[in-house]
Each structure stands twice: as C-alpha cells, then as structure tokens.
C-alpha cells in the first residue's frame, strides 16, 4: 500500500467515523516525529535483486509463537475497535482468520475475549495484556486468555505513562467515554469497582498505567501462566535480553505505533540490533509503520519472524467493514508474495539472504 492508497483509505474512514476516531487512529505522540520516522525509515530500504535464477514459487507459511500462519502477518493489538465498526475486534479477527493470518486482541478491546474467540473462527489469536496495578485484574486477563483458546500473551511494556496525543487534545476526544472497553464489564473489574470509589474511568485510571512495573513483574507474569509470553515495546537490544531473562518466549520490536515517545528510534531501525542480541531460536516480531507487503518483506529480511499491521486494517474496517479488512490483509500478503518472487526468496526466512540497502 503506497502513501496515496493509505490516504484514500484514511479519507474514506474519516467520512465514515468522523474526525475524532480517525485522528485517534492516525495520530502519534508529540509532534509525530516518531510516527513519520516509522514509515520513512522503512521507505529508505531497497532490495538488490539477482537475475536469471531458478523460478520461485514462494511458500509463505511460517511457524510463530503458538501456531502456524499461512503468511507472516498478524493484526496488531488496537483498542476500542467499536469506534470504527459495530463488530469491532470480532470483524478484524474474522478477517485475519479467513486468510489464515493471526490476530492480537488488546487489553482495552471493545469486544470481550470470549466473544471474539467464539465468533472469529479458528484463526491464531494472541492476547495483549498490560501488567496492571491490581494483580487480580491482571490475573483475570491471563485466565480469560487461557480459557478461550488464545495461544500466547503479549505483554506490552512501553506505557509507564501515556504519551501526549495532541490530536486527541485538539479534538477533545475521550475514547473511553465514547466506547468503554469490555474489561469494565468483567467480574474482576466489578469487584475492583466495589473497592475503589469513582466512575469506571477513574477505576481504570487507578490501575493503568503502572509506572512502577519492573522486569520482576514480567517474570511473575511468565510464571503465572501456561501460555508463552512475548514482550512488546522493546527497542534497545539489552531490553530484549532482559525480556528473555525474565522468561519471555520472544519479543516484539515496537514503539507503540509512534504513540508514546514523540522522538524515538523507529522500530525498523531497532530491529537488526535486537535480532543480533538474541539467539536465532528466539522469535523477534515487529510492528509500527508497516503499510504493505514490501514493508513486510524488508522487516523479514532484517530478521523478523512475522510482522504486525495496525492502521491499514483499522482504516479499512472503518471505511469498508469486514470485507475491507479482508481486502487490505489480502493485498499485503499478495504484495509480500510478489516481492519474494522478484527477489528470489522461496520462504520468508530466505529473505534474510537477500541483498538489502538503505539510503
């Protein structure tokens, strides 16, 4: 998906859902330098293809944490998707499952994890969680994932506090007031609400973010579940090492889509260093800024096991519903397959052998 196609999708989504939700999706932190850097640095990479080799029919199948995908693509965890379509996360999960791709459900999803599992088919599902200040509520999220067939937990660690989102401030946009997350209806949250005075928003504010969270908390999370845990939000190689030392099965290189630190290294810049820091059998994934299959190919060439894609899917859901989400995901996979054919890579892993330049 080139920048023109992305803008057309954003324009259509704006007409469908309005400025507030659209800017909440598109916006970044501060002056949005990180947001621009994510895609800009991906655009600087180019393959140097070899010619007249044997014909290539790529096999995109890949083993990821918790299962196998038809292609190395998952939908990123994005909260409050009912802002963009009544079916919310059920529709993006169904779209991914229909293509054999993966889906990661946010802690602050609009739809209950059990409902997504029941309605989204047999696709591979990860559950993103934050380590909250209330251990009972965190444990309830873990238990829910275990009970409903999620195959991995994704522990996001890059929100010690929420970044400054200037578009939301300008719009006076209160996401939780417009679309309360499903977590507020859970028994664990109702129990907490009986102990903590205030509105549901005030109760949420009492447990998230958790600025005192440490690697010891990650280790306790790992020991509390039978599911593999991926740590998301890693940019520094040493943090990747600490995540694995805490028991993580892998890491997701991410800067939260440019929504936290206004001036951060891009995910694609961080990926090679993180990949080099860890043993080859430890999977490294990446998100933030990926717009299409060519970007995905670059990430795979730099060592990612798979990529997570966010905004293009959510914009398509807003503009065109379930069919739009399917269309965009299919186009990403098709573009990745074509890139692999042109580069001469038979599998996603073989992209690491391709010549790649940055300038």
- Cα–Cα distance for residue pair 303/277, rounded to 1 Å: 11
The predicted model scores a pTM of 0.97
The answer to whether the beta carbons of residues 286 and 254 sit under 8 Å apart is yes
- Res 63: pLDDT: 98
- Res 55: pLDDT: 81
- For the chain, the farthest-separated pair of C-alpha atoms sits apart, in whole angstroms, at 70
- Whether 256 is a known active-site residue: answer yes
- Res 201: pLDDT: 87
Residues 6+ apart with CB under 8 A from 132: 138, 141, 207, 208, 210
Q: Return the number of other C-beta atoms located less than 10 Å from residue 37's C-beta.
A: 22
Low-confidence ranges of the chain (pLDDT < 50): none
- Cα–Cα distance for residue pair 34/265, rounded to 1 Å: 7
Q: Return the number of other C-beta atoms located less than 10 Å from residue 29's C-beta.
A: 23
Kind plus residue range of the DSSP H or E element containing 73? strand 73-75
The answer to whether the beta carbons of residues 193 and 200 sit under 8 Å apart is yes
* Domains assigned to the chain: 3-358 (3.20.20.70)
| Of residues 256, 139, 122, the one with CA closest to residue 191 | 139
Which of 85, 103, 210, 256 is labelled catalytic? 256
- Cα–Cα distance for residue pair 175/145, rounded to 1 Å: 24
Structure tokens at 149: 């067939």
- Cα–Cα distance for residue pair 152/124, rounded to 1 Å: 9
Strands 229-234 and 152-156, sheet pairing: parallel
């Amino acid at each position: 998906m080139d920048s023109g196609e992305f803008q057309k999708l954003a324009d259509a989504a704006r007409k469908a859902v309005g400025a507030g939700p659209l800017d909440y999706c598109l916006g970044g932190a501060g002056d949005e330098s990180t947001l621009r850097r994510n895609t800009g640095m991906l655009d600087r990479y180019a393959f140097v293809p070899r010619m007249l080799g044997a014909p290539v029919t790529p096999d995109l199948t890949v083993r990821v944490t918790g299962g196998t995908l038809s292609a190395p693509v998952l939908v990123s965890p994005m909260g409050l998707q009912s802002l963009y379509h009544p079916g919310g996360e059920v529709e993006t999960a169904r779209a991914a499952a229909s293509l054999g791709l993966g889906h990661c459900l946010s802690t602050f999803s609009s739809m209950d994890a059990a409902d997504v599992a029941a309605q989204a088919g047999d696709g591979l599902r990860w559950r993103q969680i934050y380590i909250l200040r209330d251990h009972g509520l965190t444990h309830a999220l873990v238990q829910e994932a275990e009970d409903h067939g999620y195959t991995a937990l994704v522990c996001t660690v890059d929100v010690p506090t929420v970044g400054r989102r200037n578009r939301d401030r300008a719009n006076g946009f209160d996401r939780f007031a417009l679309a309360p997350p499903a977590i507020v209806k859970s028994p664990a949250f109702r129990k907490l609400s009986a102990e903590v005075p205030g509105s549901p928003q005030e109760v949420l504010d009492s447990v998230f973010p958790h600025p005192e969270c440490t690697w010891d908390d990650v280790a306790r999370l790992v020991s509390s579940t039978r599911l593999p845990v991926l740590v998301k939000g890693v940019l520094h190689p040493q943090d990747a090492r600490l995540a694995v030392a805490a028991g993580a099965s892998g890491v997701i290189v991410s800067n939260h889509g440019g929504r936290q630190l206004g001036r951060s290294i891009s995910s694609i810049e961080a990926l090679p260093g993180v990949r080099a820091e860890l043993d080859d059998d430890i999977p490294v994934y990446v998100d933030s800024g990926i717009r299409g299959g060519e970007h995905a190919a670059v990430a795979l060439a730099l060592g990612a096991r798979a990529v997570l894609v966010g905004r293009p899917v959510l914009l398509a859901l807003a503009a065109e519903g379930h069919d739009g989400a399917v269309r965009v995901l299919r186009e990403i996979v098709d573009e990745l397959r074509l890139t692999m054919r042109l580069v001469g890579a038979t599998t996603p892993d073989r992209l690491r052998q391709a010549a790649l330049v940055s300038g």
